[in-house]
Structure 1
Amino acid sequence: MIDIRKAADRGQANFDWLDSKHTFSFGSYHDPKHMGFSALRVINDDTIAPATGFGTHGHRDMEIITFVTQGVIEHKDSMGNVQQLPKGEFQIMSAGKGITHSEYNGSDSDPLKLLQIWIEPESLGGIPGYQQKDFGQTQGLTPIITPNGENGTLKIKQQASVSHLYLASGTQQQLNITNNRKVFIQVVEGQLNISGQILKPGDGAKITDQSILQLINNSQQILEALVFDLP
């Protein structure tokens, strides 16, 4: 089964400094039909105005993934990390028993765009952690986050993985799904054809009871998406 979540149907929060689209229920947006998918709890598509951002705030018991699609994040946290996160880089914070952090747009003139993703951990508590890496843009599926951190991937405290899908125009990628796993695909750029259904930027797809999918880019643009393999 392939259940499409259209970008236009997402929840929205709009402030002077932040425009946020919510794939799943978040903050003041509540929809009992969209409370998450397996361990995937949040996908927020955020646009942050220049020289603004999220002040210091806390999290616990959540795996928090950030992927920058435009601009640079200025990051500080209670573990002592002071980092810049530019376009194309991935960051994961394991909040564990508790962490505080801030995220600001590093530009005084240009907006910052990012995806903020929350995945529930398989166990609560534990020591917080921070990881950050640029994986480049490689044709096909590139593993980014895995439960064991193998082959240079970032490590997550859940039996879940995240891959970066990058397809040139006129190419495709086969996705094999084993052991009745669930898959969620979030389109970042371009158009994705799944079984004749076209997904555009901001669209997502919940995929269950499938073993093989052909992910096709038959548009004239580059396709970029995130693929979540979930328990």
Structure 2
Amino acid sequence: MNAFEIRRGADRGMMRTTWLDARFSFNFADHVDPRRPRFGPLLALNEDRVQPGTGFEMHPHRNLEIVMLPRSGTIEHRDSQGREMLVRPGELQWMRAGRGIRHRQWNTSLHQVDHHFQLWFAPSTLGLEPAVERLPYKASTPGAWRTLVSPLPGDGELDIGVDVVLALGLAVPGRALQIPARATGGLYLHTMQGIFEVHGEGLEDVVLQNGDAIVFFDGVPQLQLQAESPSELLRFDTAAVDPRTGLTAAHASHEPMKERLS
């Protein structure tokens, strides 16, 4: 049987301030959980809600590939290289921190909460030239996956230089999502919204809802995701992951990146 784990949204790390409500699926900032340091190249899966007229002041990053997916609200980006842009739902923002960049991320609305997911990936190459892109994408159709990030030519909207495939999926009652079986490789499936059942070999009565995840470390059975209510999911396909360390074989051969949270 393929080794898997259910992770509940209620067990995620949390940060609440007057302007920010954040949930962390992995170690982040002051939240440390030795059981969940990362998942292969995926270092952070944060769900943030930012109050109107507030946000993250100018701060630095380096040697990270950062993907942001707005869910509601409009986010203003400004950076130390002079870029300014607005990012809205239906658009993906990718920021390559590379050898170093500073940026400000702000909720421009005075009325609407900015709700977004922010994903941090370990780069395959350190010290690259910083870059920022905004990319519109088509919404997922019911019962189908929409690939957003992939290293394979023509497979996704964007190649961020990391060995990971990121896809969005939408399951609705009567239109299940399918995931084919594969003998090797890791899978991290995160529930953005909704309630659904996961059916597959070795799985019994697995129900996931907002913030929950199911994780396969090396090898995935054929899965069918049957929605009880419209359900939107984030799917990460990676190389095989060591469940004790969260590392792939490629990452285990290098020293941990001490600067990754800078």
Shorter-chain TM band: over 0.9
Shift of residue 148, structure 1, vs aligned partner = 4.7
Task: Give the greater-gyration-radius structure (CA).
Answer: 2
Q: Which amino acid aligns with 2:53?
A: A
Return the alpha-carbon distance in structure 2 between the equivalents of residues 161 and 152 of structure 1. 8
CA distance, structure 1, for counterparts of residue 59 and residue 172 of structure 2? 39
Decide whether aligned partners of structure 1 residues 149 and 19 sit closer, same or farther in structure 2, where only a CA change above 3 A counts. farther
Q: Distance in 1 between matches of 2:150 and 2:183?
A: 17
* Residues 1:218 and 2:220 aligned together: no
Structure 1 residues 142 and 15: CA distance shift in structure 2, 3 A: same
- In 2: Cα distance, 1:129 partner to 1:150 partner: 21
Q: 2:148 aligns with which of 144, 148, 153?
A: 144
In structure 1, distance between residues paired with 2:147 and 2:207: 24
- Aligned counterparts, 1:103-122, within 5 A: 103-122=105-124
* 5+ long unaligned stretches in structure 1: none
Bigger fraction of residues in strand: 1
Equivalent residue pairs, number? 230
Alignment of 1:95-174 (within 5 A): 95-139=97-141, 140-148=144-152, 150=154, 153-174=157-178
State the Cα deviation string for residues 131-156 of structure 1 (Å, max 9, x = none). 22222223211110112563561121
Aligned counterparts of 1:96 and 1:192: Cα–Cα separation in 2: 38
Distance of 2:188 and 2:27 partners within structure 1: 16
Query: Given residue 220 of structure 2, which amino acid in structure 1 is its aligned partner?
Result: S
* Structure 2 counterpart of 1:17: 19
Q: Which amino acid aligns with 2:146?
A: T
What's the counterpart of residue 83 of structure 2? 81
**Deviation, structure 1 residue 12:** 0.6
1:191 paired residue number = 195
TM-score by length of 2: 0.82
One-letter amino acid of the counterpart of residue 231, structure 2: L
The amino acid across from 2:147 in the alignment is: P
Aligned residues with identical type, % of pairs? 28
| Pairing 1:230–2:238 present | yes
Does the 8 Å contact 1:18/1:47 carry over to 2? yes
| 2:39 paired residue number | 37
What's the CA shift string for 1:47-76, capped at 9, x where partnerless?
101100001111111111111111111111
